[in-house]
Structure 1
Amino acid sequence: MELRVTGPGPSAPFLGARDVFETAHDLDHPVHVRVRENPDERTWAGHYDDHHVLNISRQAATSVMARELALHEFAHMRRHEDAHPSHVLSMDEVLFLALTGREVERRVLAHCYQIANHVKDIYADDITLSVGPTDKLVTFLESELAAAVADRPTPGQPSGQRLTAGADPSMTAVNAAFALALLERHDAVPGDHRIYDLAHAAGEDAPEIDVDGFRERFGALARDPDESDCRRGLVDAIRTYVDAQETTTGPAAD
């Protein structure tokens, strides 16, 4: 696996991720890692005919999660090279099938893309967690979910107040379902782990979202789906989420 790191950051996390990845997998195309100063861009990958690009902020590249973030992106690259349905399906087609006859708000449309990203992440992390430890991922997902449910109402506030902080409560509930599904899929947490309490809090804040239902959807994704199965699963998940939203006015998703 050919790797080149450029930019104002360390190369060790990426070389370490490559060494771990290569214990069971490889990439046909070289990877160009570009460390950027912009802290708002944690990681994102680009795929081209003859190479991949991993963009990562300097803040992320120097964090304790740097190696794990790189390993996760390498797994996405492997899925892309394999033309895995979750990574090459047309989202325009999926959204057309899921949203025909429906109007959705722009925020809900953005959430549809996030649901699709969760499916991609499940399949990428089937690779990631087959070669790497789960401890840091558990801590990371717990921390992210805890931050989203930290703004609890104080005693005496009326019932029905938001439990989540700045994040959209509906999407926070789906994110919680994703986190549980991923960790359960790899037997990474015991049944009494704190993340279950956090997921329950997220669900309380968004009663329109069936957290257990989404957890089962994500967790039951076929290990080796064909394109039709993958498309059908995405359409059903997106349609279920959109139909759960009470407000469906706004710009239509054509």
Structure 2
Amino acid sequence: MLLFHCTNSAAETLSSTRQGQKHSWVNNTPLPDDAQPWGWQLHAVKIARQNVLVAMQADTRFAMVFWGLKKGDGETLLHLFYQRLANHLLWLAEDTGVLSEADCKTMLDRLLQQHAGFRFHAGSDRSVQTHINDVVHHCRDAVADNGCLPDNREEAAGFDEFLNEGIRSVKGGAYFQPAEALLCACLRDFAGMDEAGIAMVRERLKAQRRQEMAQTMLQHAEIEGLQEDDPAHALMMHLLEQAQGKGRLH
């Protein structure tokens, strides 16, 4: 079951009044004793006169942003949520090359089977909310820079990727990337991958980041006119080759 912990603003956004009666998607009925909910926190703000909803997974701090929804339209929110989540996991698994197309489908089927049910509850976690506030800040910056938020269906996934490639830390713990944390959690819980396999995925992602950094450095060197016989250029090439070697499949 998906369990969305809703801040007061999210609960209000998920409510509407029809024929004088208030209707809300928020249901605080206790969960069944055997429920194993997957916890997300939901927060709402107004940006550029639009409802903007931020959903963040409590453990991995993976965030997705939705906007332009009508007040009380929980159905559209859920549709976009499941669709966006599935796409992100497919892309993340594809980027690492750790699962075949059939295995990716199996992982998603298991996730949807276990979490097809959902519940919106009132309440929030202060630590999660701190990271949500940072996401909201990026949303406001995007509107200030571009005049609007990205398209809610096609460009939104790219905006989510930007948000989840950043570095976060929970209560002074080790730093991590939300995208990597979500992928590894899903590989463990829905693809049956053991800790050794997950460690290999983390190392591969680390190598990819090294490679991207080395390529960025080389591009900067070309712009600055750094010659190939310069020791700094040789060092960058060495780092790039090293990253490419560690990123290969074994």
Task: Looking at secondary structure, tell me which structure has more strand per residue.
Answer: 2
Q: Greater CA radius of gyration, 1 or 2?
A: 2
Asked if these proteins are the same fold (TM beyond 0.5), I'd say no
Q: What TM-score bracket applies, with the shorter chain setting the length? A: under 0.3
